[in-house]
Amino acid sequence: MFGGLIVQPWFRIRSLAIVCLLASTLAAAAETKITAVFSASSQDLKSNLIATSLVLQAERDGTTDTQELLAAARADYQRLLAVLYDAGRFGAVISITIDGREAADILPLNAPDEIKEISLRIDMGPVYRFSEANIGPLAALTEIPEDFSRGSIAGTGHIRDAARAAITGWRENGNALAEISQQQIIARHDQDQIAANLIVAPGPVLSFGDIGIAGNTDVRTSRINTIAGLEPGARFDPDEIARAERRLRRTGSFRSVVITEADTATPDATLPLTIEVSEQTPRRFGFGGEYSTIDGVRLTGFWLHRNFLGGAERFRIDSEIAGIAGETGGIDYGVDLRYERPATPRADVDLFAEIGFERLDEPDFKSKTGEFTLGFTRYATDELIVTFGLGYLYSEVQDDFGDETYSLITLPLSATLDRRDDILDPTKGIYLKAEATPFYGLGNTESGAQFKLDARGFRTFGNTVPVTAALRFQLGSLVGPGLTESPPFYRFYSGGGGTVRGQDYQSLAVDVGGDRTGGRSFVGISAESRVRMSDAITAVAFYDWGFIAAESFADGGGDTHSGAGLGLRYNTGIGPIRLDLATPVSGEADASDFYIYVGIGQAF
C-alpha cells in the first residue's frame, strides 16, 4: 500500500487468542456453511469487516456457485486488510479456509466441485500508533489533520487525509501539479508503532491554459466557455474550476459536467483544461396539484426548454388555476412566461425577462393584472442569490371601495439564503428570503413599497426515531399609500394553506367601515414536529398563528387567529405527499371545525 511498509503475512498460522466469538454464525445456502470469528475489538470495526467481506455478502445473497465463493474468499484478504489498516491494526492476521484449506493456496482453476464450509478467522492484533508523522514542505496556511500526529492511532486513512491536505494547500496556491514524491511507512511490530514520513513536490505555479470543449452538440461552444467563466492566463485555482462546473450545471442544459486537467504543463507554465459535457434533454413539462376543503383545488403546470436559442437559455411557461370547487371567491387563473440567459453580462449573473397575466376572484376583490419585468439574477455564493429588476404593472381592480385602475413602475429586489439539506424535505439548515418591491405610481396611483420576509429553520433530533423541529416566521409590510388607496394585490391576508391552516382562506383581514380588505402588515408563525416513523411514513403535528393590522408596522392594534392539527407525509423519490388535518384554535371569524389539505412537498 505504501512504500517501505513492512507487513506480516496475511494468513500465517499462529495461535489465535480469541477473546470473543463473532457477532454471529451465518448459515449459508443449502450446502455451504460460513462461519466467522473475530478477536476482541470495537463493534464498529466488526461491523465494517462484516460489511466489507465478499464471503459474508455471498452468504447474504444466497450464492452457491463454488467459483464465485472461491473468488470472494481470495479477494477478501486485500479487502479486509485495508479495513484493518485503516483502523491501525497493522499486526492483524487473517485466515480464510475452505474445507480446511487456506483459500489463498487454492488456484482459481482448481476450484473444488463443492464447498461444505468456509471459515473466516481474524486476529485483530494490537492498535498501532504513530511514532513519527511528518509531511512537508507545506504551503502557507495549510492545516494538517490532528489525527496525523505522533501518538495518534496510525490509520492509513489519516495518512491519506494528511497527504490530501498537503496537496490541496499547494494547489490552492497555484501549484496545480503538486504530488507526494516520496513516502516511507515503516511498521515496527515489536513496538506496535508506525513511522510515517511523506515528502511533497509542489511543482511550479501555473496558469490556466487553453480550454477545450467536448461532448456538446446543440449548445454552442462559445457559450459554454462564457458560462464556465474560466480565463486562460489566470492563476490556477481549483476552487474556480469547481465554480465553473457549478455554473454549467446550474443552467440545466447539461446532464453532467466534468473539467479535467492535463497531466503536464506546457513550456509557458500553463495547464490546459478540457470541459466535458453531456447535454440534457432540452424539453420538459410537469404538473402539480393541491386540495383544501375550503380553498378548493389548485392545479399548476409548466413547459420548459433548457436550450431555447442554442446558448443554454431557459424558456419556461407556467400556468395555474386555483379555487376550483372552493368556497372562497371564484376561480383564479394566470400564466407566466420567463426567459433566462446565463452569464449575462458575466459568469455569475443571469439576465431574465418575465411577462405574466393573472385574473383573481378573491373574497374581497377582483382583479385583472398584467406585469412585465426585466432584471438580473446574481449568484453571490453557492447559497446566496440576489435578484433585481425593473418592471411595469397594470391592473384593473373591483372591490368594496369601487373600481380602480393601477399603473405602476416597479423595482423588485430579493435576496435568498438557502442552507437546507433538502429543498422538498429538509431535516436541517435554514432558509431566508427577503423581498422589497418599491413602486412608483403613474397617473392617480400612489407610490410606496411592499416588504416581505420568510425565515425557516430545521433541526433533527435522535437516530432511531428521528424528529425534525421546523419553524417558520413570516413578516410583511406595505408602506406609502393609505389602506384604501394602496393596490389590493399588495395588501396582506391570513388564513388557509401557506399562512394559518385550520382557518378559512384569507379569513383574517381589516374592517374599514363595515367593508373587508387586506392589511398593511402581517406576521405569521408556524411550527411543526415531524416524526419519521419509517422510511416511507412521517407523522406531523403543527400549529400556525397569524396577525393582520391596518398600519404598516405591527403595533398591537391588529387581530390574530390560529389553527393546529396533525398530518402524514408519504415519502417518495420526488418529495413527500402531504396530508394535513387542521382545526381552528383561536380567532373571531366564522370557521369550519375541520379542514383537509393535500399537496406535494412539506408545508414549508
Q: How much is the pLDDT for 511? A: 87
CB 351 within 8 A of CB 341: yes
Task: Look at residues 331, 358, 216, 204 and name the one whose alpha carbon lies nearest to residue 270.
Answer: 204
Positive or negative torsion for Cα 199, 204, 205, 210: negative
**Which pLDDT tens digit goes with each residue over 29-72?**
346 888 888 887 788 899 999 999 999 999 888 888 889 999 99
Give 80 or 297, the one with higher predicted confidence: 80
Q: How much is the pLDDT for 365? A: 83
Coil, strand or helix: which one is 174?
coil
Average pLDDT across the chain, whole number = 90
Spatial strand order of the sheet with 179-188 comes to 129-136, 193-201, 179-188
> Which CATH number is associated with domain 129-201?
3.10.20
Is pLDDT above 90 for 555? no
**Which pLDDT tens digit goes with each residue over 167-218?**
999 999 999 999 999 999 999 999 999 999 999 999 999 999 999 999 999 9
CB 396 within 8 A of CB 370: no
DSSP states of 403-463: EEEEEEEE--EEEEEE--S-SSS-SSEEEEEEEEEEEEE-TTPPPEEEEEEEEEEEEEE-S
Give 23 or 384, the one with higher predicted confidence: 384
Q: Poorest-confidence range of 5-14, 51-60, 266-275?
A: 5-14
| pTM of the predicted model over 0.85 | no
Amino acid identity for residue 302 in this structure: F
Grid coordinates of 573 = 423519490
Is pLDDT above 60 for 26? no
**Matching fold, domains 129-201 and 207-279:** yes
Over 360-380, what HEC string results?
A: EECCCEEEEEEEEEEEEEEEC
pLDDT band at 569 (very low <50, low <70, confident <90, very high): very high
**Which pLDDT tens digit goes with each residue over 460-475?**
999 889 999 999 999 9
Give 553 or 226, the one with higher predicted confidence: 226
In CATH, what is the architecture of 207-279?
A: Roll (3.10)
Q: Measured between alpha carbons, how far is 13 from 322 in angstroms, rounded to an integer?
A: 76
- Max Cα-Cα span within the chain: 98
Coil, strand or helix: which one is 61?
helix
Q: How much is the pLDDT for 589? A: 72
Is pLDDT above 50 for 428? yes
296's torsion region: left (phi>0), alpha (psi -120 to 50) or beta?
Answer: left
Q: Measured between alpha carbons, how far is 577 from 121 in angstroms, rounded to an integer?
A: 48
Bridging pattern class, strands 559-572 and 101-102: unpaired
Length of the chain: 604
Residues 557-571 have a mean pLDDT of: 94
Residues 371-378 have a mean pLDDT of: 98
Residues 530-546 have a mean pLDDT of: 95
Q: How much is the pLDDT for 386? A: 98
**CB contact burial 423-436 (16+ within 10 A = b; e otherwise):** eebbbeebbbbbbb
**Which pLDDT tens digit goes with each residue over 98-109?**
999 999 999 888
Give 24 or 384, the one with higher predicted confidence: 384
Q: How much is the pLDDT for 31? A: 67
Where does residue 534 rank: exposed (0-12), middle (13-18), buried (19+ CB within 10 A)? exposed
Per domain, the residue ranges of the chain are 26-123, 129-201, 207-279, 347-352+362-600
Q: How much is the pLDDT for 556? A: 66
Q: How much is the pLDDT for 210? A: 96
Is pLDDT above 80 for 573? no
What DSSP state is assigned to residue 91? T
Residues 443-447 have a mean pLDDT of: 91
Task: Look at residues 484, 492, 490, 488 and name the one whose alpha carbon lies nearest to residue 558.
Answer: 492
pLDDT band at 9 (very low <50, low <70, confident <90, very high): very low
Residues 310-314 have a mean pLDDT of: 96
> Which CATH number is associated with domain 347-352+362-600?
2.40.160.50
State how far Cα 80 lies from the chain centre: 33
Is pLDDT above 50 for 22? no
